Amino acid sequence: MTTQYDVLVVALNELIEINNSRIEGYTKAAEDIDGGELKGVFQAMITESEGFVKSLTIHVEKFDGDPTTKSTFMGKIHQTWLDFKASITSHNRETILSSCEFGDKAAIEVYDTTLALEKVESSPELENLLMSQKSSIAESLKIIQSLKSSTSDEKAE
């Protein structure tokens, strides 16, 4: 019989996986981008997700679960798409930023789903942690969207 704790552990592991995918995506983006200022932005987002994984791992263990070390299946598909697009667009800044935007939007959706779980809602500590992580990713998304918009504006001139 599946308990609410089992469901919670699965959901937290999905958050670990999405953050591992985010780390992989931003690492790839940092490698593919020519602009030096973006490498620093991407590195900050990598470091952010590494911290999220550590915090989430502690909570999975607290609920007697086994933390995952994998990325999401969708993350792997997204990474393959990113690799393909990068190979045909020769490290295009707007394409890379679009891919990062896609990944962060997906991460926010997974956080929303997890935050709706009853066990999360009944644990203020965990709920605050997840809300804080989601908020940080949303801020990162705004940065990516702003950079993408400024790239589009530069092209239009």
> Of 64, 65, 139, 145, nearest to 108 (Cα)?
139
Q: How far apart are CA 111 and CA 18, in angstroms?
A: 9
Does the pLDDT of residue 7 top 80, yes or no? yes
What dotted CATH number matches 4-156? 1.20.1260.10
| Rounded-to-5 percentages of helix, strand, coil across the chain | 85, 0, 15
> What is the domain partition of the chain in residue ranges?
4-156
How big is the CA angle at 17 (ends 148 and 53), to the nearest 5 degrees? Answer: 90
The pLDDT of residue 41? 92
Q: What is the pTM of this model?
A: 0.85
Q: Are 152 and 94 in contact (CB under 8 A)?
A: yes
Over the stretch 72-100, which tens digit does the pLDDT of each residue have?
Answer: 655 555 555 555 555 445 567 888 888 88
Label residues 52-79 b or e (16+ Cβ within 10 Å = b).
Answer: bbebbbebbeebebebbeebbeebeebb
Over the stretch 115-131, which tens digit does the pLDDT of each residue have?
Answer: 999 889 888 999 999 99
Length reported for the chain: 157
The pLDDT of residue 59? 94
Over the stretch 35-75, which tens digit does the pLDDT of each residue have?
Answer: 678 899 999 999 999 999 999 999 999 988 999 887 765 55
> Of 61, 68, 65, nearest to 16 (Cα)?
68
The pLDDT of residue 32? 79
